[in-house]
Amino acid sequence: MNELAITVIGRDRPGIVADVAEALARLGANLTDSTMTRLRGHFAMTLICVGPAAADVEAALAPLAAEGKLLATVRAVTPDGETEPTGEPYVLAVHGADRMGIVAAMTRVLADAGGNVTDLSTRLTGSLYVVVAEVELPPGTADEVAGRLARTAADLDVGVSLRPADTDLL
């Protein structure tokens, strides 16, 4: 079974999801995990689907991209199955005045500690920049990572917090 990684991005308008999903459905492609969201007026879809060949999906999406309003990419990927958690789940929040390199510096601290970012979103509103990341940290490293994050945040003049993610099962 082919597994495909597909991205579609374009200026937001009603019907982008319906158009793309319809094209995939006609090919018998099964949508598995995806995120679809609006980013500053652009609509961005990142999705994994299984079924058809990459070339068929590219051809099916071509008419949507033809007017230059949507940019679509299709890649065949190797199915790895579910990734097992590699550490303890934490939520990192950073906020402060927008400047270059906030995400780069903060995620470098996480990477150097062996932390794995599993989800991250950023928002710029006025001059306020907000980063929220979910990260798996190697067991027992959170206090040290928090200290390094605080020092890096101080250099950038932004606020930072690192808290255990809520893992309650209800």
Partner 1 sequence: MTAEEYAGLGGWTPEKLGLPGAVRAVVAAPDPVLSRPGPAVDPTSAEVVQLAADLVATMRVSPGCVGLAAPQVGVSAQVFAVDVTGHPKAVTVHGAFVLCNATVVEASRWKAGREGCMSVPDLTGDVKRASRLVVEGVLPGSGDPVRLVTDGFEARALQHEIDHCAGLLFLDRVAGAHAVYQRKVYL
Shortest CB 38 distance to partner 1, Å: 9
**Residue 35 to residues 17, 38, 68, 110, Cα–Cα distance (Å):** 11, 10, 22, 23
Torsion-angle region of 94 (φ positive above 0: left; ψ -120 to 50: alpha; else: beta): beta
Name the strands in the sheet holding 116-125, side by side, starting at the edge strand that comes first in the sequence.
Answer: 116-125, 128-137, 88-97, 158-164
Shortest CB 128 distance to partner 1, Å: 5
Interface with partner 1 (CB under 8 A): 91, 93, 95-98, 119-121, 123, 125-130, 132-134, 157-159, 161, 163, 165-166
Nearer to partner 1, 27 or 120 (CB): 120
Nearer to partner 1, 95 or 148 (CB): 95
Nearer to partner 1, 78 or 125 (CB): 125
Shortest CB 15 distance to partner 1, Å: 21
- Which amino acid is located at 146 in the chain? A
Nearer to partner 1, 62 or 128 (CB): 128
Beta strands in the chain (DSSP E): 2-11, 30-39, 42-51, 70-77, 88-97, 116-125, 128-137, 158-164
Shortest CB 46 distance to partner 1, Å: 14
